[in-house]
Structure 1
Amino acid sequence: MLELLLVAVAVLGYALVSRRLAMSAFTSAMFFTSVGLLVGTGGVGWFDLAIEGEAVTVLVEATLVLVLFSDAVRIDLRELRRELTLPVRLLGIGLPLTVIAGTLVGAWTFPDLGWAGAALLAAVLAPTDAALGQAVVGDPRLPPRVRQTLNVESGLNDGIAVPAVTVLIAVVVAEEAGSPGDWVSLAAREVGFGLAAGLIAGIVGGRLLDSAVVTGRIQGTYRQLATLSVAVLAYSAASLIGGNGFIAAFIAGIAFGHVARDHCAGVQEFAEEEGELLAAVTFVVFGAVLVGPLLGNLDWQIALYAILSLTVVRMLPVLAAMLGSRTLLETQMFFGWFGPRGLASILFALLVLEEVGGEAGETIFAVATSTVLLSVFAHGLTASTWAGRLASRLDSAHEAQPELGWAPELPTRRGHIRRSDA
């Protein structure tokens, strides 16, 4: 009960000064992580939950399902068809190269992990969370195309990473069990059944909701709840038939957004409010339970990997992906730096700890959480300053620059475009 009280006080405290903090470099993720570090086992010891306890597991699963489904729903792929060039470069070229680079660095830094373990670590840290740099994706000084490139990337790369994480967990578990051939059938079942459950839930749920709205059979509040129930339906159905529920939630979001686009606003509103609450709780737990106990055991290998993961492992693949794009080098460096690791990586790391376990699982968990901790503060503190600098540079650029082209304004993971008076 004390843990619940501390979370409530933290949320209330932030809410009372949120408008003022929104104009500073101190982000909500930094605030709630700091609170967690202060009250957790690495601080005064008031917040004491077991990492593998039921409360943490439920929080992880609920948050990840909501994040994956709402991310897939809010990114309108039909709206983006004309202007997918830059996001496609980041997702189609930059993301695979980032995983490859992270695997190479991981195998060199942690040789005991092996290639499969190093690849799993890289996949866990591949997704980005643009909400950690909200000053970037919500800053009206930046051209829409720059903001939306990072917004779309962060909205889709966590869902794209789920199958990779799923398959690599199966590989590592099979290797640990001494039966390396078993991972193929397990991974195929989880991915295949997850895809099927997600498609069916998203399409059928979207069609039923659309029909109910057209005929006036549904009330406003339940229209929103019905949309969210599609995510839960996809997750639970996939889990029951042996599929991966997180893959199902992401695919259901894509399918639902395609067949029932007019009803997606409710999900976005929910994700902005209740999703923000889940994120706040997650970052308090992250600081108190996940990171706090690890701070005294950090070594040079973990620190080195965390630094390399946020710099060369991310930035070099992005620069390679942007070759021939005619964008400014400063824009490319901006894209490369602002790949903050956040919610998805935290949740993936917990899944690895739960399903892989052992020395490999603990190593991946420690490295991933340390990298996220560094990212929370490094990206939060630099977002507004660098965004302003790039905006000034682009103000003087030629109007034919690709960064200045048209792009649709899509909602961000937490909130909408920041007003100048916010």
Structure 2
Amino acid sequence: MEAGEIAALGIIVIAFAVVSMRIARWPLTMPMIFVAAGALGEATEMVDIAPDHEAIAALAEVTLAIILFSDAVRIDIRRLRRYLAIPIRLLAIGLPLTIVVGTLINSLLFPDLPLVQVALIAAILAPTDAALGSAVVEDTSVPVRDRLALNVESGVNDGLVVPVVAVLTAAVIGESRSTPEWIGFIAQQIGWGVVFGAIVGGGAIVALRWSDDRGWADARFQQLATFVVPIVALFGAEALSGNSFIAAFVAGLVFGSFGARPDEETPTLPVRLGAFTEDAAQLFGLAAFFVFGNVLLADAITDATWAIVACAVLSLTVARMGPVWVALIGTGLRARTRLFLGWFGPRGLASIVFGLLLLEDTVAVADVGEQVFGVIALTVAASVLLHGATASSGARRYGRWAEEVIESGDHAERRSMTMEDELLAEKHHLLPKSRWSVRR
């Protein structure tokens, strides 16, 4: 980005801050506004960022890592065990089914594409987005059970999809490996991601806690050090051929839990240290969505066909909501809850990152990367619009319904929704709770 483009982005940030409280109840979210601002800048030629896919991919990767880390810091893994049933089902059953259903839909919509390419599209569009889902996750009217399920799912599924995307991308570009080599590759990606993330997150919070107890460290530098943790996890895991996004999320989980003390009445040390990182995640996120709107959205809309539009709509509905419904069979959750969890599975930064990396990997294969990325970009744009427009109102309506259910006298349902310690969960920062009054 050139000087004028950076200045323009800064002006938009200031303008958004000025009216942020005023529009808090409107059907607008930060991603919607900054994607639209980026697209408007490109359309009017006032801001025209050079389409450097490598630089954009790097920005999106760093942004996603910081967001994953920041959200994970507020999840205490010592208490998470009580809440794991739903997110485990969403990840172990819903995520694979989403890829399978997406592949079947894409095969019907794009009959000329090889099976491996339509499967690649489905895999890239499978993970949900932590940034786009924050308006729902942070709405305290939504039961803690449902907010935690969506938050954990969005934090973990990005990393779980990476090996699948890598394998399918390798197949698209003609790279061949034996079955044992693929198994070793996947194990290395997940294993090193988890191990390195735990080491980085655990080592950082132990060192910061030790220095904090002795009054050795300046609070400003403690927050800067915390901001660096997901960056170290991201690029360190990549250097070890591990999964960068799993490493960033695990680093946040361990960082938040190792530094938490059950008897603390105030926000725990990791939450306090992560304040700057949380704000930085906002800044990186709005920059990423602005660049997406300015550089990638126009081509996606121009090149859209009926099949691409149908793919975007079906990816956000049938390919997501059907698998979630199946994954939650046997949980006793009511139909409205299943539909709520199914609908609020937005696609965003993870899909953009995977799509941009695909463009780099498929330069030798004519039109493959561009063709697939067109579908991805339009789906993300549709998600920004549809999920952004329904997040606040949908969460409020669902929250009111859940409150009526809790007050209905159904003890089992009350226990399921509130876990009988929602206030305790909030007190110990089990869930992200924005320090801002406005939605992200």
Query: Which TM-score bucket, shorter chain as reference?
Result: 0.7 to 0.9
Shift of 1:180: 4.8
Query: Which residue of the other structure, out of 162, 167, 171, is the alignment partner of 1:165?
Result: 162
Q: Which residue of 2 aligns with 1:403?
A: 417
Q: In 1, are the aligned partners of 2:226 and 2:277 still within 8 Å (CA)? A: no
Q: Would the alpha carbon gap of residues 282 and 372 (structure 1) be closer, same or farther in structure 2, given more than 3 Å must change?
A: same
TM-score for the superposition, normalised by structure 1? 0.88
Q: In 1, are the aligned partners of 2:169 and 2:358 still within 8 Å (CA)? A: no
Query: Which residue of the other structure, out of 406, 415, 422, is the alignment partner of 2:434?
Result: 415
Query: Which residue of the other structure, out of 163, 172, 176, is the alignment partner of 2:173?
Result: 176
Query: 2-side partners of 1:389 and 1:119: how far apart?
Result: 35
Name the count of aligned residue pairs.
Answer: 416
Q: In 2, are the aligned partners of 1:345 and 1:372 still within 8 Å (CA)? A: yes
2:225 is equivalent to residue 219 of structure 1: no
Q: 5+ unaligned residues in a row in structure 2: which ranges?
A: 261-267
How many percent of aligned residue pairs carry the same amino acid?
40
SS in 2 for 1:339: coil
Larger deviation: 62-71 or 317-326?
62-71
Q: Would the alpha carbon gap of residues 195 and 78 (structure 1) be closer, same or farther in structure 2, given more than 3 Å must change?
A: closer
Query: 2-side partners of 1:3 and 1:354: how far apart?
Result: 24
Q: Which residue of 1 aligns with 2:80?
A: 80
Residues 8-407 of structure 1 correspond to what in structure 2 (within 5 A)? 8-40=10-42, 43-53=43-53, 55-129=55-129, 131-159=131-159, 161=160, 164-177=161-174, 179-181=176-178, 184=182, 189-261=188-260, 262-266=268-272, 268-357=274-363, 358=365, 359-397=367-405, 398=408, 399-400=410-411, 401=413, 402-406=416-420, 407=422
Q: In 2, are the aligned partners of 1:174 and 1:180 still within 8 Å (CA)? A: no
Shift of 1:98: 1.4
Query: 2-side partners of 1:270 and 1:332: how far apart?
Result: 35
The one-letter code of the counterpart of 2:18 is: L
Shift of 1:328: 1.8
How large is the RMSD of aligned CA atoms in angstroms?
2.9
Larger deviation: 100-109 or 14-23?
100-109
Shift of 1:53: 4.8
The one-letter code of the counterpart of 2:353 is: L
Q: Would the alpha carbon gap of residues 175 and 327 (structure 1) be closer, same or farther in structure 2, given more than 3 Å must change?
A: closer
Query: 2-side partners of 1:10 and 1:4: how far apart?
Result: 10
Larger deviation: 335-344 or 298-307?
335-344
Shift of 1:99: 2.0
Larger deviation: 17-26 or 357-366?
357-366
The one-letter code of the counterpart of 1:210 is: R
Query: 2-side partners of 1:299 and 1:120: how far apart?
Result: 19
Shift of 1:134: 4.5
SS in 2 for 1:75: coil
TM-score for the superposition, normalised by structure 2? 0.84
Query: 2-side partners of 1:44 and 1:215: how far apart?
Result: 56
Query: 1-side partners of 2:394 and 2:241: how far apart?
Result: 45
Shift of 1:97: 1.6
Query: 1-side partners of 2:162 and 2:396: how far apart?
Result: 35
Larger deviation: 288-297 or 114-123?
114-123
Deviations 1:351-374 (A, max 9, x none): 222233443322232111111111
Query: 2-side partners of 1:210 and 1:288: how far apart?
Result: 42
Q: If each structure's helix is expressed as a fraction of its own residues, which one has the higher value?
A: 1
SS in 1 for 2:198: helix
Q: In 2, are the aligned partners of 1:70 and 1:268 still within 8 Å (CA)? A: yes
Shift of 1:325: 1.9
Query: 1-side partners of 2:79 and 2:300: how far apart?
Result: 44
Deviations 1:261-309 (A, max 9, x none): 4542145422431111111111111111011222111011111111001
SS in 2 for 1:264: helix
Q: Would the alpha carbon gap of residues 413 and 154 (structure 1) be closer, same or farther in structure 2, given more than 3 Å must change?
A: farther
Query: 1-side partners of 2:349 and 2:4: how far apart?
Result: 24
Larger deviation: 400-409 or 189-198?
189-198
